[in-house]
């Protein structure tokens, strides 16, 4: 399973509204822009909903194919590196190979 990579833009007029650009997943599938990001497995009463929305709005995470976030699933080392590098604003360079290589090599 791979974490989706992409650009997430929060609207200044409505900070709760998050728009995403087209996102490419490891297997070559793409998901079109969908307006407000909603995850089918993160309901209104989920304990981490606010933290997930904040992470999405800042571009640290964007979920999995099929509109899922999988909040109870452990993250991989590659997913963790993507979040850290993105949060710190470290530069990345394109790499041939696995989707996470640019994040692991960031420095």
Instruction: Clarify whether residues 68 and 51 are in a common domain.
Output: yes
Instruction: Clarify whether residues 16 and 65 are in a common domain.
Output: yes
Answer yes or no: is pLDDT of 37 > 80: no
pLDDT at 89: 92
Q: Choose among 76, 66, 56, 103: nearest CA to 2.
A: 76
List residues bridging with 24 in a β-sheet. 5, 30
pTM recorded for the entire structure: 0.59
How many domains does the chain fold into? 2
**Pairwise pLDDT comparison (31 vs 73), residue with the higher score:** 73
Rounded-to-integer distance, Cα 103 and Cα 83, Å: 9
Q: What angle do CA 30, 50, 26 make, to 5 degrees?
A: 20
Instruction: Clarify whether residues 3 and 51 are in a common domain.
Output: yes
Instruction: Clarify whether residues 64 and 92 are in a common domain.
Output: no
Mean pLDDT confidence for 56-60: 88
At 44, is the pLDDT very low, low, confident or very high (cuts 50, 70, 90)?
A: confident
Instruction: Clarify whether residues 60 and 45 are in a common domain.
Output: yes
At 59, is the pLDDT very low, low, confident or very high (cuts 50, 70, 90)?
A: confident
Instruction: Clarify whether residues 66 and 86 are in a common domain.
Output: no
Full residue range of the structural domain in which residue 103 is found:
74-107
């Amino acid at each position: 399973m791979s974490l989706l990579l992409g650009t997430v833009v929060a609207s200044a007029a409505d900070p709760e509204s998050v728009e995403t650009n087209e996102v490419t997943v490891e297997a070559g599938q793409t998901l079109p822009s969908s307006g407000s990001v909603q995850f089918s497995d993160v309901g209104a009463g989920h304990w981490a909903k606010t933290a997930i929305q904040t992470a999405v709005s800042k571009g640290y995470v964007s979920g999995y194919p099929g509109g899922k976030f999988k909040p109870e699933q452990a993250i991989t080392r590659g997913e963790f590196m993507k979040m850290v590098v993105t949060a710190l604003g470290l530069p990345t360079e394109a790499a041939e190979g696995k989707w996470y290589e640019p994040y692991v090599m960031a420095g």
